[in-house]
């Protein structure tokens, strides 16, 4: 059931009951308004004031681009789905800000970012590459030594595992190293997101415009699902290390014992402002789970292995079979487990 809230500016509006206990932005002034259960039933005086208050004209409303609910055109954020609608900057302020970005880019030399980007191969890629080579050596050792089939088997099994991990790591290295030269804005965003998620934050930081490499009062991620554990936080960054810490600890990692998995589901270019600026929207799926769950699964697997080792029963048998060679082919003299000729000739 919708809950009615009132802003200090006098605006009264309704929000979803899932937002109980949170803050929503006012549709008019943008101030954060607490959503309280007590506001569900308005006092008579407030109800009368709401009845006599001028209503927003139909021409002053518009559908929310995200949830299609009717909202005022002046709203900066939808009170229903909490998606941002528009910025508080005026067109003149936006023009000045874009000009500042262009001036910074004109004075910036990409060669300055080489130290931030590092080499093409990430540390994890080098580790997987080394493990894959060791598996290849183990396989070759097993092939050359006829009594070392176990080395060949281990080389094949772990070689496939580490080989797949190496291919994934190389794909991530390529994407992170080619953010700036992507063919479209949505592809550049995908590569930036992948670089930040896979620990290649130096390359992601180097992809920022010079004016975006220092940030103040940056908010942590927010979720529509209240069951997803998170700690609201505001931070700043001044260098690549702080930028990496922000994305790693406030975006891709949950608080305490919670792990968080963010995955891009859809990336689209919404609009372009001129020939250079593009607005890209990314739809992200979020999976959050307690890390004790993984530990429980891991321990359960070990318990199953231990039970198999403890409860299994072994025996050893000796079987002797008689063969005959005829015209270069081998033939068994008896097809049973222990035939008469087998026992007679043994």
Q: Please write the tens of the pLDDT for every residue from 279-325.
A: 888 898 988 888 788 788 888 998 998 888 888 887 888 888 888 88
Q: Report CA 138 to chain centroid distance, whole Å.
A: 35
Residue 70 lies inside a defined structural domain of this protein: yes
Q: List pLDDT tens digits, range 179-235.
A: 988 888 899 999 999 999 998 989 999 889 888 888 888 888 888 888 888 777 888
Residue 237 lies inside a defined structural domain of this protein: no
- Residues of the chain with pLDDT > 70: what percent? 84
Q: What are the tokens at 127?
A: 């580790």
Q: List pLDDT tens digits, range 95-108.
A: 888 888 888 888 88
- In this predicted structure, which of 57-66, 156-165, 330-339 has the lowest mean pLDDT? 57-66
Q: What are the tokens at 130?
A: 């080394």
Q: What is the DSSP code (8-state) at residue 249?
A: I
Structural domains counted in the chain? 1
Return all residues near 237 (Cβ < 8 A) that are at least 6 apart.
214, 215, 218, 243, 245, 246
Residue 75 lies inside a defined structural domain of this protein: yes
For residue 31, the enclosing domain spans: 3-88
What's the CA angle centered on 35, arms 32 and 38, to 5 degrees? Answer: 140
Q: Does the predicted TM-score (pTM) go above 0.75?
A: no
Residue 62 lies inside a defined structural domain of this protein: yes
What residues form DSSP beta bridges with 12?
A: 6
Q: What stretch of H or E contains 281?
A: strand 277-290
Residue 12 lies inside a defined structural domain of this protein: yes
- As a three-state string, the secondary structure of 93-117 is HHHHHHHHHHHHHHHCCHHHHHHHH
Residue 78 lies inside a defined structural domain of this protein: yes
Residue 338 lies inside a defined structural domain of this protein: no
Q: What stretch of H or E contains 134?
A: helix 123-144
Residue 69 lies inside a defined structural domain of this protein: yes
């Amino acid at each position: 059931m919708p809950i009615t809230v009132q802003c200090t500016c006098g605006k009264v509006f309704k929000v979803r009951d899932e937002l109980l206990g949170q803050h929503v932005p006012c549709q008019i002034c943008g101030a954060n308004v607490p959503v309280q259960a007590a506001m569900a039933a308005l006092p008579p005086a407030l109800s009368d004031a709401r009845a006599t208050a001028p209503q927003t004209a139909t021409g002053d409303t518009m559908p929310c681009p995200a949830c299609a609910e009717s909202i005022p055109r002046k709203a900066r954020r939808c009170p229903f789905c909490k998606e941002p609608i528009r910025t508080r900057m005026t067109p003149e302020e936006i023009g000045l800000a874009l000009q500042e970005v262009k001036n910074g880019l004109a004075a910036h030399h990409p060669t300055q970012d080489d130290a931030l980007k590092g080499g093409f191969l990430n540390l994890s890629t080098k580790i997987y590459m080394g493990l894959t080579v060791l598996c290849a050596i183990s396989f070759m050792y097993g092939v050359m030594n006829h009594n070392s089939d176990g080395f060949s088997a281990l080389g094949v099994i772990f070689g496939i595992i580490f080989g797949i991990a190496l291919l994934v790591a190389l794909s991530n290295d390529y994407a992170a190293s080619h953010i700036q030269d992507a063919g479209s804005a949505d592809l550049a965003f995908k590569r930036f997101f992948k670089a930040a998620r896979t620990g290649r934050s130096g390359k992601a930081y180097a992809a920022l415009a010079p004016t975006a490499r220092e940030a103040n009062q940056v908010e942590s991620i927010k979720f529509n699902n209240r069951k997803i554990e998170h700690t609201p936080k505001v931070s700043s960054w001044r260098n690549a290390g702080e930028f990496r810490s922000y994305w790693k600890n406030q975006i891709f990692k949950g608080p305490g014992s919670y792990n968080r998995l963010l995955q891009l589901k859809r990336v689209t270019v919404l609009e372009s402002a001129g020939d250079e600026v593009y607005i890209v929207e990314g739809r992200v799926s979020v999976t959050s789970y307690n890390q004790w769950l993984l530990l429980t699964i891991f321990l359960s697997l070990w318990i199953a292995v231990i039970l198999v080792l403890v409860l299994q029963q072994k025996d050893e048998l000796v079987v002797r079979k008689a063969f005959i060679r005829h015209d270069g082919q081998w033939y068994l003299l008896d097809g049973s487990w222990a035939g008469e000729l087998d026992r007679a000739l043994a």
